[in-house]
């Protein structure tokens, strides 16, 4: 059965790592639904959050292939019930003087921010889970979305445990 998987992957912070990881997916014919990458608290390490859809066999193959890459330090599969997922979206929406009050009400309900204003548009920022982001996009579509950018999933496991607590990886860097 196909399902959504969120992988948290620690990699060495070096040039070409993103290209090698993305190349692995394309060579094997796997699709990445979202990919976020950034440095961690240790400047030598970056964290990739990779979202993909597939069955358990696909997930196992992806993990095996990632583990073969020299730059990959650690991989964990984050579970929905034990993780926090967030995305960021910026939406530039058409906002005539007549529409602004209605758009502002939606902004208040979703607890997002208006971060830019022009004569004809408003730019809205929202951080939340995938369902909240999608719901806002659907509502703003009625007003006329001029431009939209969505970051993809950033995720952490809940509680005290961290990705490094699974075992010591410092000798691998």
User: Given 78, 104, 126, which residue is the final one in a domain?
Assistant: 78
User: Given 26, 55, 78, which residue is the final one in a domain?
Assistant: 78
Q: Which domain holds residue 50?
A: 3-78
- Provide the whole-model pTM: 0.84
Answer whether residue 57 is part of any domain: yes
Q: How confident is the model at residue 28 (pLDDT cuts 50, 70, 90)?
A: confident
**Angle at 94 (CA atoms; ends 91, 98), nearest 5 degrees:** 130
pLDDT, one tens digit per residue, over 110-137 is: 999 999 999 999 999 999 999 999 999 9
Whichever domain contains 137, its CATH number is 3.30.70.1150
**Angle at 122 (CA atoms; ends 117, 128), nearest 5 degrees:** 120
Distance CA 75, CA 69 (A): 11
Q: What is the count of structural domains for the chain?
A: 2
């Amino acid at each position: 059965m196909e399902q959504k998987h969120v992988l948290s992957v620690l990699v060495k912070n070096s040039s070409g790592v993103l290209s090698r990881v993305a190349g692995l997916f394309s060579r094997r014919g796997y699709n990445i639904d979202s990919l976020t990458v950034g440095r961690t608290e240790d400047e030598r390490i970056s964290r990739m959050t990779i979202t993909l859809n597939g069955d358990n066999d696909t997930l196992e193959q992806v993990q095996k292939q990632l583990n073969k890459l020299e730059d990959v330090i650690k991989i964990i599969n984050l579970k929905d019930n034990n993780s926090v997922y967030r995305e960021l979206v910026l939406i530039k929406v058409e906002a005539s003087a007549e529409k602004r009050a209605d758009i502002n009400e939606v902004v208040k309900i979703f607890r997002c921010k208006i971060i830019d204003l022009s004569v004809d548009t408003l730019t809205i920022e929202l951080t939340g889970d995938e369902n909240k982001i999608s719901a806002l996009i659907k509502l703003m579509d009625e007003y006329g979305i001029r431009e939209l950018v969505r970051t993809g999933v950033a995720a952490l496991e809940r509680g005290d445990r961290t990705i490094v607590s699974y075992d010591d990886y410092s000798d691998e860097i």
